[in-house]
Amino acid sequence: HVSTKPPPEPSPLRRAKFFQANMRILVTGGAGFIGSHLVDKLMQNEKNEVIVVDNYFTGSKDNLSQWIGNPRFELIRHDVTEPLFVEVDRIYHLACPASPIFYKYNPVKTIKTNVIGTLNMLGLAKRVGARILLTSTSEVYGDPLVHPQTEDYWGNVNPIGVRSCYDEGKRVAETLMYDYHRLHGIEIRIARIFNTYGPRMNLDDGRVVSNFLAQAIRDEPLTVQLPGTQTRSFCYVSDMVDGLTRLMEGEHTGPINMGNPGEFTMLELAETVKEMINPNVKIMTVENTPDDPRQRKPDITKAKELLGWEPKIKLNSGIPLMEEDFRKRLTISRK
């Protein structure tokens, strides 16, 4: 017996749910390191449309080449310090150089990007009723006097130093997020990201993991900045992107620390890279830059409890995952 009855119409509620699942998502800074990995993850869901805006200061179209031409993807050259008018449901606001050499290059521009850029994205979120996530940073804790850092620690930041454009810029960006939330009821999410590494990091951005890896591949000495006992905690980029999407779609505004609690001195990191990539490479010490934080390690209790998130990839598994991409871009073949 074959039924001739037409299938039931979806109820208005089911239609509404179905409609909600189709998201148009804006990623500012989506041509950068973390942003492009986030776009990869968002594009894997066929119900998502993704719009990237980027001014290509530190990012590159190459990072998004696999999506160019896809009807669900749009790439716009735009500087977030200028107003932007698009219609979206979600805003991942990443636009901002993250590496000290790039954010120090034009510190006033860095402040404008953090302050005016975030203000514009909040104005956009308010106009269209979008939820907005800010990628803040562990740098809001400055040279921390509390270790490991919890979200309720207010930080120890030099307001007039060479890193201040970034640290204080992100602190004001967080303030703006909370003021729009309190004043206009905007749905906000704040992630405080700790050092993140992985494929597509800029080869020349001066960050410690990319420097050591490129140096080891080129057989140049690894440059440990003094004293070498300063610590950082390194999170692999796929773990980070997983945390960011959980935070966006979860119920908690944050700020929430996102990072890998495994803590290493820079000398230990150099030894690890040497052992894994090039056992013959030399390690040398060089001068450091001012205001370098002496220790950094996230307390991720909140992320674990509220988002069910914790990093899966340890440093000695993550470094080999970057190696191929670095070798390819350094055009040096495997030994």
Q: Catalytic site residues?
A: 166
Q: Could you say which of 94, 217, 241, 269 contacts ligand NAD (CB under 6 A)? A: 94
From the list 14, 15, 47, 127, which residue makes contact with ligand UDP (rule: CB under 6 A)? Answer: 127
Site string for ligand UDP, 40-79 (x = CB under 6 A): ----------------------------------------
Q: Which does 124 bind (CB under 5 to 8 A by kind): ligand UDP, ligand NAD, none?
A: ligand UDP
Query: Which residue from 96, 126, 125 is spatially nearest to 113, judged by alpha carbons?
Result: 96
Nearer to ligand UDP, 67 or 166 (CB): 166
199 contacts ligand NAD (rule: CB under 6 A): no
Residue (136 or 245) nearer to ligand UDP, CB: 136
Report if residue 126 touches ligand UDP, rule: CB under 6 A. yes
Binding residues for ligand NAD, how many (CB under 6 A)?
A: 27
Question: CB of 235: closest distance to ligand UDP in angstroms?
Answer: 12
What's the CA gap between 54 and 32, in Å, rounded? 8
103's contact among ligand UDP, ligand NAD, none, with CB below 5 to 8 A by partner kind, is none
Question: Is residue 37 involved in binding ligand UDP (CB under 6 A)?
Answer: no
CA distance 147 to 136: 19
Residue from 164, 230, 278, 295 that binds ligand UDP (CB under 6 A)?
230
**98 CA to centre of own chain:** 8
Q: Which residue has the tokens 């509620």?
A: 13
Identity of residue 271: E
Of 85, 75, 17, 83, whose CA–CA distance to 51 is shortest? 75
Question: What residue 148 binds from ligand UDP, ligand NAD, none (CB within 5 to 8 A, per partner kind)?
Answer: none
Which candidate, 38, 144, 45, 22, places its Cα nearest to that of 92? Answer: 38
* H or E, element range at 132: strand 131-137
Residues with Cβ within 8 Å of 309's Cβ and at least 6 positions away in sequence, in order, are: 242, 243, 246, 247, 258, 300, 303
One-character DSSP codes across 147-196: SSB-TT---B--TTSTTHHHHHHHHHHHHHHHHHHHHH---EEEEEE--E
- 296 with 231: CB under 8 angstroms? yes
Choose from ligand NAD, ligand UDP, none: what does 198 bind? Cβ within 5-8 Å by kind.
Answer: none
Considering the complex, state which of residue 150 and residue 288 has its C-beta at the smaller distance from ligand UDP. Answer: 288
Q: Which stretch binds ligand NAD (CB under 6 A): 75-83, 262-270, 293-301, 321-329?
A: 75-83
Site of interaction with ligand NAD (CB under 6 A): 29, 31-35, 54-59, 79-81, 94-98, 113, 117, 135, 137, 193, 195-196
